[in-house]
Amino acid sequence: MRRRVLFRSVQRLLPADTVHAAAMLWDLHPQVIPITIAAVVGVAAFGAAAGAAAGNVALVAVATAAATAGLTRKYRVLALTDESFVMMRGSTIRLQAREVLARLPHDIELHKAGGSLLTTEWRVDGTTYTVRREWERTMEEMASRANG
């Protein structure tokens, strides 16, 4: 179901193209660490000024850090068409492509750069993106098309 939703959103943005595959990827905002630190310091200062218990302030600060890091992700959708690869902006809420950002040639750099139990890292045209394991097979298919 999730794959179908993403695929249909890509087809709506690329009606003239034949879409073969699509995968959701993300990377973090370049300033994620300073933004997260500022949010945590702000929450901690507010909690201390309000006289909250240190344990509660720490718990809220950790939750704020997690939420801030999550909100600074830049979601992308990589699609493979007959003519090229297409990089699109992805939705932060739903699994959908929102707008076409760039058309990339078939001979782009596209290879696996690492991973963990839940995600893999992929190098796409000079940028490293994180990909959930559910999209790994799709990424491998697109990589074989790009590299061979």
Which pLDDT score, from 0 to 100, does residue 88 have?
Answer: 96
Inform me whether the pLDDT recorded for 17 exceeds 90.
Answer: no
78-113 pLDDT, tens digit per residue, is 999 988 899 999 987 788 999 999 999 888 889 998
Which pLDDT score, from 0 to 100, does residue 116 have?
Answer: 86
Spell out the SS3 assignment of the chain: CHHHHHHHHHHHHCCCCCEEEEEEEEEECCCHHHHHHHHHHHHHHHHHHCCCCHHHHHHHHHHHHHHHHHHCEEEEEEEEECCCEEEEEECCCCCCEEEEEEEECCCCCEEEEEECCCEEEEEECCEEEEEEHHHHHHHHHHHHHHHC
> Which sequence spans correspond to the domains of the chain?
2-29+73-147, 32-71
Which pLDDT score, from 0 to 100, does residue 16 have?
Answer: 80
Place 120 in a pLDDT band, splitting at 50, 70 and 90: very high
Place 24 in a pLDDT band, splitting at 50, 70 and 90: very high
Inform me whether the pLDDT recorded for 33 exceeds 90.
Answer: no
Which pLDDT score, from 0 to 100, does residue 1 have?
Answer: 65
Contact 54/43 with Cβ under 8 angstroms? no
Over range 137-146, report the average pLDDT: 90
- Per CATH, the number for 2-29+73-147 is 2.30.29
Place 131 in a pLDDT band, splitting at 50, 70 and 90: very high
Inform me whether the pLDDT recorded for 129 exceeds 90.
Answer: yes
Contact 10/77 with Cβ under 8 angstroms? yes
